[in-house]
Structure 1
């Protein structure tokens, strides 16, 4: 039996995540005559190159190039061909624990785009953001590489460093982000009990949809419900997706059978509806946190919660991944993953490249968008540099008074640095040296880790209290 996959992206962590489910959706090949004509044409081209090209060529490389060319001509970042070597590396990464930077990468047109860093991963800590465009790895351009070649360059052993050059937003200047590779934890569910004056609210964070995630969600939910919760927050921010079977089982716990929670559509318009067997919805309100790093399976969950049960989505518009891939073994160790289907929301909307808009749009504090500040030179009064603009925004985000954020190191900036240095026990000379920048990065991370500074989380708590 062939395996249907809803491919999320290629993973920078050394593993790629897929929606996987045992379903058969195969079409017959085209008429034998058409196939024969195509093969004759390909054979002629191969013979011509093999016999007449100015240099000797490897016929296997020609074949790989032909297949790769056909896939590339589709212009679809989710359809990929992997030769035998790449396929082995890929399968090994799926079957074992992995180390890397902890982020998801996809290809859009000619750009390699970060879908999302995993929460708490080296990539997130180093400052990679959803929609960053990867331009270089360790100083080498990735322009001519395939998606899997880029991820292979980024992968590496625990403790090793990789420098990733990215473009962000409207800035044309390449931003260099240094990441120390590490083991990526397999734990995909985190739960907590939030005590408020109006009762207890359960919190369930799902970082990916992997094997065992549904069981962990069920176990965590039972423990929270034993505390007599008055509401529940599901957090799939930064969740790049995962196994369809996993999100399916999770949907069974939250949405009822009154309408399908998703549809899988073939190119001829025929579709299959997937429904939950649940008869009665929870007796407490639920809110789901989403952002631009919520993709694929996370979007299936968000759409189901919103369109089946009317639960609120809080945060930012999701990534927008709405296609389905079929994984096919080509018989010689190579394989192809080809986009064959779309998935649609309960209301039969295709959210591909659009994402899902939240019920309640909530922006995070600007500090959340800042990258850790790394500088080879000491930043001091009178200098003018983009890194100083980051420094000023960091200080401002931590409530230190600065008069400007344009990159000019003013007297006000110097005083703010001195005040910060005193607060962390450093020599208060007003110059941003390595020690100062390190402590500043720590302060920013502490700010982000404080739930009270998480505007989206706090909005979800307030929303549930009003329900």
Structure 2
């Protein structure tokens, strides 16, 4: 046989073997997929059988919609504590909360003895302009008694389209008779950022991360800078009891104080889902000293900010260990059927550490002093962190924060109402003045310097969307 013939038959044989191998692999893959689908269909048949039995045999006629919603929610809740189903109404409410603006009256309210009590009217809103005052009691809305409504139901009735009127029946101390107040709804904007000067220090309290947080923070810093002047010592960013919010706003707030480098990494199930947000040049504080306050109520987006500024050594983190929620939820709209909140990624600080079920350890651990008359009550309320939640995601490195008895734990979320008695705040002020004494640096392992390796996809310009560390999925 000639060499060319030998080469030809060798080529055919190898091609044939490769084709056979490819065909075998495809067949095996198809077979495995078909087997998985077959098992899934059996489980769906089981669900259908149970549903039909409930519908036909339950002692009372059930609500089919409620049954399906409960089944969906049960499925999602079995994944982790932060995945859930939102009915259309809950989805709308969540969108209102994270937008930070809605059509309403502009009053902070609570429920007392079956009626609405005004805690405080918000400045420059319809309620304030109509003359509503703190401690006013609202008994009727458009001549319908509030009695029997929940606080949420009453608030829903007070909200509504802009430029529409509502009649409030008000009982006020010092007035013999109830009186009516007509209020025309307007756009109400919730300011998630409050600020004030503490002598030569700028104090900024961030209560949540909604669509307005970054813009409000920039305005607050500009105002404080003008108010205090060139001798400003630095800024205190108070994230205590901030439960989180929008991922893009946490990135923007971190970027406000960083010139370069990674802010946060989000890692999904697959490597291609990994993204990294990077800081852009520009520091709104002009490099002034920063202190970030955290405690057991600081979660998710708050922890992203604290972790980024801590890893870059841009801020000194003071307080107690944060909550430890290191996961990202994506809101997936379901048309007219509401939406699902699904955990789709873990996030990591710039030095590639996960705080899931561990939290951010402060650079300086400072416990808030508790008044004697509240010590027993607070001691009875055991602090709970992410590690205490049933079904929580495990930390990727296999470690979680536990107390001395080996039980998942959190840290205290108590904050004194009086600034003069706020131990953590006063320590932060003294720290910026260089006169802090007392608490020692926490025993936590110092954060490693940020790495420059890792995924480079992603951007700090994510579109804003609902939830407590959520990413946006454009509605269908």
Q: TM-score, normalised by structure 1?
A: 0.54
Asked if structure 2 preserves the Cα contact closer than 8 Å seen for 1:189 and 1:216, the reply is yes
Q: Distance in 2 between matches of 1:460 and 1:268?
A: 41
Does the 8 Å CA contact 1:100/1:156 hold for their aligned counterparts?
Answer: no
Counterpart of 2:195 in structure 1 is 191
Query: 1:321 is matched with which residue?
Result: 325
Shift of 1:466: 2.0
For 1:214 and 1:45, how far apart are their aligned partners in 2?
A: 46
Q: Residues 233 and 287 of structure 1 are in contact (CA less than 8 Å); yes or no, is this contact kept in structure 2? A: yes
The Cα of 1:50 is off from its aligned counterpart by: 2.1
Report the structure number with the largest CA radius of gyration: 2
Partner of 2:278: 275
SS of alignment partner, residue 366 of structure 1:
coil
Shift of 1:343: 0.8
Pairwise CA distance, 1:92: 5.8
Deviations 1:40-72 (A, max 9, x none): 541454146526953476655554343233223
Conserved 8 A contact 1:253-1:278: no
Alpha-carbon separation, structure 2, partners of 1:352 and 1:294? 13
Which residues in structure 2 correspond to 1:200-349 (within 5 Å)?
A: 200-226=200-226, 227-228=229-230, 229-257=232-260, 259-269=261-271, 271-278=274-281, 282-349=286-353
Residue of structure 1 equivalent to 2:369? 365
**Count of equivalent residues:** 292
1:211 and 1:88 map into 2 onto residues whose CA distance is 15
**Partners in 1 of 2:150 and 2:356 — Cα distance?**
28
Q: CA deviation at 1:252?
A: 1.9
> Contact 1:209–1:246 at 8 Å: present in 2 too?
yes
Shift of 1:344: 0.8
- Residue number in structure 2 paired with 1:452: 420
Could you tell me how far apart the structure 2 residues matched to 1:51 and 1:236 are? 50
Q: Which runs of 5+ in 1 are unaligned?
A: 1-29, 103-119, 122-151, 159-183, 372-385, 391-444
Deviations along 1:168-205, one digit per CA (max 9) or x if unpaired, are: xxxxxxxxxxxxxxxx982221222222xxxx222111
SS at match of 1:202: strand
| 1-structure distance, mates of 2:65, 2:292 | 50
The 5-angstrom pairing of residues 33-48 of structure 1 reads: 34-35=36-37, 38-39=40-41, 41-43=43-45, 45-47=47-49
1:57–1:453 distance in 2 versus 1, CA, 3 Å: closer
SS in 2 for 1:300: helix
Mapping of residues 51-66 of structure 1, within 5 Å = 54-55=57-58, 60-66=65-71
SS, match of residue 224 in structure 2: helix
**TM-score, normalised relative to structure 2:** 0.53
1:341 Cα deviation from its structure 2 partner:
0.4
Structure 1 residue 80 corresponds to structure 2 residue 77: no
Query: Tell me, what secondary structure is at the counterpart of 1:78?
Result: coil
Separation of aligned partners in 1, 2:277 and 2:65: 42
Distance change >3 Å, CA 268–CA 193, structure 1 → 2: same
Q: 1:153 to 1:251 in 2, by over 3 A?
A: same
